[in-house]
Amino acid sequence: MKSWYFSFFYRILLLSVTLLAAACAPEPIRQPPAVPITPMPNAAPLPESETAASTARPGQPLGSRADVQAFIREMVSKYGFNAAQLQTVFRQAYAQPSIIAAMSKPAEAKPWYAYRSIFVNPKRIQGGVAFWRANAAALAEAERTYGVPPEFVVAIIGVETQYGANMGKYRVLEALATLAFDYPRRAAYFRKELESFLVMTRAEGINPLTPRGSYAGAMGFGQFMPSSFQNYAVDFDSDGHRDLWRDPRDAVGSVANYFKKNGWRTGEPVATPARVEGSQYRQLISSQLRPPKDSIASLRGQGIVPLEPVNGSQAAMLLEYEGRDGPEYWLGFDNFYVITRYNRSQMYALAVYQLSQAIAAQYSGSARIGERLPERLARVD
């Protein structure tokens, strides 16, 4: 979540695991990760030579390695950790070569129409309604505190972990250490995350061997990386702990806070379907993840017509998606950009938006909301 490359590779990896798990025996405890790839539109393929070779040796505790010992010394001098305690922790932790293997797999891109159906489907909509009902008070409080409506918080948690059903089964310590020490291409990033994780567990009074997460170390209902935990996690129920694994209230407040801190604009729209005319629109299709800069009025002058009422001064970016029957066009506003701060992907942001609208319509059961939903939002595949 902190960096695009993390999100990019993380999602690719998660898809690989998903496909692998789907092809093999069913998971005994948790469902396979349900989050597919979300390709970064402009991500250049990495050269072959950068593909990491695994140096992990299963059976050898991380604590017996010289590079880990150097890391422990650094943690002691930098943060005042107790050396003996860290030694004890890393003597019980092991690198996980399966993570390196999955990280090295090539990306598999899905077209939008296939990606969409993973998230905007009856199961995930129903799950969102149930999560909303179970956490209505916290979601209302989060809206009052951070200005983020419940449906967006619910949709993020739905896309990330199917409402907590799939938070990941790896020890976070081992996932981060594997990538910090045995995955040179991203070692600097994951070493920082490992540092943040140890600082976090010390602050929260958690045994570092206890938390579980994705193979990339993403944690809890909203799949926060440790650095995001440090920056955005809140103790929303004021019980003295930021618990994003067992306390959905903390997760709700933390996701809303993440949005708020990344520029969410209360009361402004997220996206609207659009149609295009002429040929000028082509040069305006946004493949970058940048805040929108063209006004609706200016875009209208270039053949781009929003299909829902929008203020002419609202800044927007034109988005193109691969629909089943040809390209679909959308206009994304500032709040659409904010959703891409959670995961650097236009497909991710639109899936969250569409899921949020479908959940909101079903939650309220209101004909008014149902009626204003464009067919393509209300439709489930």
Q: Segment near Ca ion (CB under 5 A), from 3-11, 171-179, 243-251, 306-314?
A: 243-251
CB of 249 to Ca ion, least distance (A): 7
Residue in 143, 237, 294, 328 binding Ca ion, rule: CB under 5 A: 237
Q: Which stretch binds Ca ion (CB under 5 A): 8-16, 20-28, 52-60, 249-257?
A: 249-257
Minimum CB distance to Ca ion, residue 235 (Å): 4
Phi-psi category of 365—alpha, beta or left, where left has phi over 0 and alpha has psi -120 to 50?
A: left
250 binds Ca ion (CB under 5 A): yes
- Distance, in Å, from the CA atom of 265 to the CA atom of 343, rounded to the nearest integer, reads 18
254 binds Ca ion (CB under 5 A): no
Least distance from Ca ion to the Cβ atom of residue 247, Å = 5
Report the residue number, 27 or 239, with the smaller CB distance to Ca ion.
239
143: contact with Ca ion by CB under 5 A: no
160 is catalytic: yes
Contact call for residue 235 and Ca ion (CB under 5 A): yes
Q: Which residues is 319 bridged to in the sheet?
A: 330
* β-pairing verdict for 326-332 and 304-306: unpaired
Q: Cβ atoms within 10 A of the Cβ of 250, count?
A: 25
**Burial class, 32, CB count within 10 angstroms (exposed 0-12 / middle 13-18 / buried 19+):** middle
Q: Taking contact as CB under 5 A, which single stretch among the options 67-75, 109-117, 247-255, 369-377 is the one that binds Ca ion?
A: 247-255
Give, in order, the Cα–Cα distances in Å from 299 to each of 36, 84, 292, 310, 347.
32, 62, 11, 12, 22
Residue for token pair 């932790």: 93
Q: How far, in Å, are 91, 93, 152, 257 from residue 235 at the CA level?
A: 31, 29, 20, 11
The interface region with Ca ion, picked from 237-245, 260-268, 330-338, 348-356 by CB under 5 A, is 237-245
Chosen residue from 74, 239, 277, 381 binding Ca ion by CB under 5 A: 239
Q: Kindly determine how many residues on this chain lie close enough to bind Ca ion according to the rule CB under 5 A.
A: 5
Among 151, 160, 174, 328, which one carries the catalytic annotation?
Answer: 160
Binding positions for Ca ion, rule: CB under 5 A: 235, 237, 239, 241, 250
Catalytic residue IDs = 160
